[in-house]
Amino acid sequence: MDRDVTVQLPHALTDAAERIAREGGTTLDQFVATAVAEKLSAIKAVTFLAERGGRADLAAFDRFMNRQDGLPPAPDDRLPD
């Protein structure tokens, strides 16, 4: 369910958002809702990656990367000389 929210924005920001929304064929409300959703998604991604990184087993990573078995990288997956 939608909920009305009133936000005070600087005039320059409001003008720019209205212009971009109009050029994109959308309303200011839709533009702002999308912008907020994108920002929340970015914050969630950073939080997720930080939490995931905190659980990393760096010793296991080093063992994996330094293993002697396995196949060599494919020609298109090699680092340039």
Domain boundaries, the chain: 11-67
**pLDDT tens for the 81 residues of the chain, in order:** 889 999 999 999 999 999 999 999 999 999 999 999 999 999 999 999 999 999 999 999 999 888 888 788 888 999 888
pLDDT at 2: 87
Sign of torsion over alpha carbons 2, 6, 7, 12: positive
> Residue ranges of the alpha helices (H) in 1-81?
11-23, 28-54, 58-65
Whether 21 contacts 31, CB under 8 Å: yes
CB atoms within 10 A of CB 62: 10
Q: What is the pTM of this model?
A: 0.65
